[in-house]
Structure 1
Amino acid sequence: MEEGNTYLNALVGAVVSAVASSFIPFAPVLGGALAGYFEGGTRSDGVKVGAISGAIALIPVVGIMFLILSFIGFVSVGSGEGVLPFAFGGVIVVFVFVALFVYTVGLSALGGWIGNYVKYDTDIDI
């Protein structure tokens, strides 16, 4: 990887996060750490590339969430429940999106900081 190529490093970290999230808990930390390690620079550069990596990794998660919620909405249209459950459902959707955003982008930014730390302050060489 080319040091300082922020978007390429973020894309690599996002792919690692997306693939590893199916079998590794807290996978955004791993993807962000890889992006931060490849990025180099200062700690703030590592956090920045980690956050970008998390935002890219969030795109397929939001797409899957959209499909699932669309299916649930389609099934519940004929239930005749009225307006309140739909309004409550909107609050739940916003809460779930914010939680996913904080989880993915926040942990990736933390991973970017860790990756930068590992590159410059430890003897570990990847």
Structure 2
Amino acid sequence: MDNRNGFFLNSAIGSIALIILFYVPLAPVLGGIVAGFLERRSLQAGARAGLLTGLIAIVPLYFALVFLVPLFSIAPFGRPTVPIDTVSFSAGLFGIVVLYVIPFSTIGGVIGSYLHKRAFLRESGCSTEPSSSAE
């Protein structure tokens, strides 16, 4: 299998995890960790996988929030507390989603790649700590 296809598949799996766990605080980090761990290459590749995970997940998360925020923001007298100007509300919500998802999923991709490297080193018997053989 081509490595490029694996990259997109890992990012898609990470974005599915992000979308499923969207109600958990810092869910983009978890989705990025999944993608970065599955990427199995350098920290830069993990960051790219996390970035693509965030880019894929932005669209469904944005549309889910556009429909959920007005649903849960009804005042006691039945009037919506969402701003009347729908365009500014949508643009602001999109900006918040982008500023929340992209950086955190990228950080999660780096963390996932780092965790994979640590697990691989531990599994192969290599140690990153200096040996203390001067006894």
Greater relative CO, 1 or 2 (CA 8 Å, sep 6+) = 1
Residue of structure 2 in register with 1:43 after alignment: 43
From the superposition, tell whether residues 124 and 59 of structure 1 become closer, same or farther in structure 2 (CA, over 3 Å): farther
Match of 1:107 among 83, 104, 107: 104
Residue segments in structure 1 that go unaligned for 5+ positions in a row: 72-84
Read off the aligned partner of 2:91 and give its amino acid letter.
V
Asked if residue 34 in structure 1 is aligned to residue 26 in structure 2, the reply is: no
- Distance in 2 of aligned mates of 1:53 and 1:100: 13
Residue of structure 2 in register with 1:20 after alignment: 21
8 Å contact kept, 1:17–1:28 = yes
8 Å contact kept, 1:6–1:39 = yes
Q: What's the CA shift for 1:94?
A: 2.1
Asked if residue 52 in structure 1 is aligned to residue 52 in structure 2, the reply is: yes
Give the TM-score normalised by structure 1: 0.72
Residue segments in structure 2 that go unaligned for 5+ positions in a row: 72-83, 124-135
Summarize the alignment of residues 78-93 of structure 1 with structure 2, pairs less than 5 Å apart: 86=85, 90-93=87-90
8 Å contact kept, 2:15–2:56 = yes
From the superposition, tell whether residues 16 and 112 of structure 1 become closer, same or farther in structure 2 (CA, over 3 Å): same
Aligned-pair identity in percent equals 25
Give the TM-score normalised by structure 2: 0.67
Read off the aligned partner of 1:113 and give its amino acid letter.
V
Q: Greater helix share, 1 or 2? A: 1
Report the number of matched residues: 110
| RMSD over equivalenced CA pairs, Å | 2.8
